[in-house]
Amino acid sequence: TKGAMVMSLDDNGPAKAAGLHVGDIVVAWNGEAVHGPRELIRKLGPDSAGTTVTLGISSGGAERDVSITIGEKPLS
């Protein structure tokens, strides 16, 4: 399966609130295929915070779409 696997989630973050789980695979971003983690990281660039996107998620062999508003990247 192509895409980017969710490896961790912030308990208070928008991905968890949208119903994503560790192990889910992000296969699409606004209808465009995600071919790997680097592509997803590029899409999550500095200008994405505050925008709402539709993610295609593959989980346990089933696919679904999830609408999510991208949050600010936490400061390290």
What is the average per-residue pLDDT within 12-34?
Answer: 95
How many domains does the chain contain in total?
1
CATH of the domain at 54: 2.30.42.10
> Tokens 């983690």 label which residue?
37
**Enclosing H/E stretch for 4:** strand 4-5
pLDDT score, position 72: 77
Which residue in 3, 56, 10 sits closest to 30, CA to CA?
56
Query: Band of the pLDDT at 74, cuts 50, 70, 90?
Result: low
- Mean pLDDT of all residues in the chain? 90
Residue 74 resides in a domain:
no
pLDDT score, position 35: 95
Q: Would you say residue 4 has pLDDT above 80?
A: yes
Q: Please indicate, yes or no, if residue 75 is contained in any of the structural domains.
A: no
pLDDT at 44: 86
pTM (2 d.p.): 0.87
Q: Helical H runs in the chain? A: 14-17, 37-43
CB distance 72 to 49 below 8 Å? yes
Q: How many residues are there in the chain?
A: 76
**Residues 6 or more apart whose Cβ sits within 8 Å of residue 46:** 73
